[in-house]
Amino acid sequence: MFLKRIRLILIVALVTFSMAACATDNNDSANDVVATVNGVDIGIDVFEDIVKQLSSQYAQQGLDIEGEGGEAILQQIEQEAINSLVQQEVILQEAKNKGFDVSDEEVVEELENIKQQYPAEEDFETALQENDLTENKLKAMITDQMQVMNYINSLQSEVKVTVSEDEVKEIYEQYKTQMEAQMEGSENIQEMPAFEDIKDMLENELKQRKEQEQVGQMIEKLVEESEIEIYL
């Protein structure tokens, strides 16, 4: 869950260019800052953009932040957004401290991927102007995001996990129960594949879960060791 959340923030940052406002000068008004991580401010603009994106996702899942109970849902979204941004800033700082550099070629390649999302070069330039960005600023932002992901990937490569056959069988039975519940009353009955047919796939899935849990614990420790102030 932790890594999925971090990747969500990275995707939002690159697609919407919102991360340009993430790190602000300490001289900015307190009203423009939602948190400070080891002396680095997180701007309110990026926070509001992430909240909008998360709110849209919640709405797609059928949760209405405008209706009854909406205030509680919005508070949950805001908490998720600030936690993710703080974690990302912690990771970025650690990545830089550990020397996770990104080559110019890698940055240019990612920049070209972003440009391809626009019908024409003029549309890309307009997006830059609308977000008060230059191409160089965007390159710096891409560099930060790539450093974050490279650091997370390095942690994943260091993690060594083992999975027992009993654990794999347990998750198989969970999926089997879920499928039977979904198929109940349905005319299109599907049978769960045999255990041996999907054993390897389930084992890999379980290993990934354990890896993500351990990496999440490493990141949480970094957060706990950081000096963090949240102003919401």
Q: How many CA atoms lie within 13 A of 179 on its CB side?
A: 12
Based on the fold, state whether residues 109 and 199 are members of the same structural domain.
no
Based on the fold, state whether residues 194 and 153 are members of the same structural domain.
no
| pLDDT at residue 8 is higher than 90 | no
Note the pLDDT tens digit of each residue in 22-73: 444 444 445 689 999 999 999 998 888 888 888 887 788 777 777 677 788 8
| pLDDT at residue 106 is higher than 90 | yes
Based on the fold, state whether residues 199 and 218 are members of the same structural domain.
no
Based on the fold, state whether residues 75 and 170 are members of the same structural domain.
no
Based on the fold, state whether residues 7 and 92 are members of the same structural domain.
yes
Based on the fold, state whether residues 96 and 172 are members of the same structural domain.
no
CB of 39 closer than 8 Å to CB of 23: no
The span from the CA of 147 to the CA of 109, in Å, is 15
Based on the fold, state whether residues 151 and 199 are members of the same structural domain.
no
Based on the fold, state whether residues 10 and 117 are members of the same structural domain.
yes
Based on the fold, state whether residues 122 and 182 are members of the same structural domain.
no
Listed ranges 1-15, 117-131, 157-171; the one with the highest mean pLDDT: 157-171
Based on the fold, state whether residues 182 and 67 are members of the same structural domain.
no
Based on the fold, state whether residues 95 and 184 are members of the same structural domain.
no
Note the pLDDT tens digit of each residue in 73-105: 888 889 989 998 898 899 999 999 999 989 999
Task: Report the CATH number that the domain containing residue 51 is assigned in CATH.
Answer: 1.10.4030.10
Lowest mean pLDDT among 9-23, 109-123, 150-164: 9-23
| pLDDT at residue 197 is higher than 80 | yes
Based on the fold, state whether residues 83 and 174 are members of the same structural domain.
no
The tally of domains found in the chain comes to 2
User: Which range of residues forms the domain containing residue 30?
Assistant: 2-160+211-230
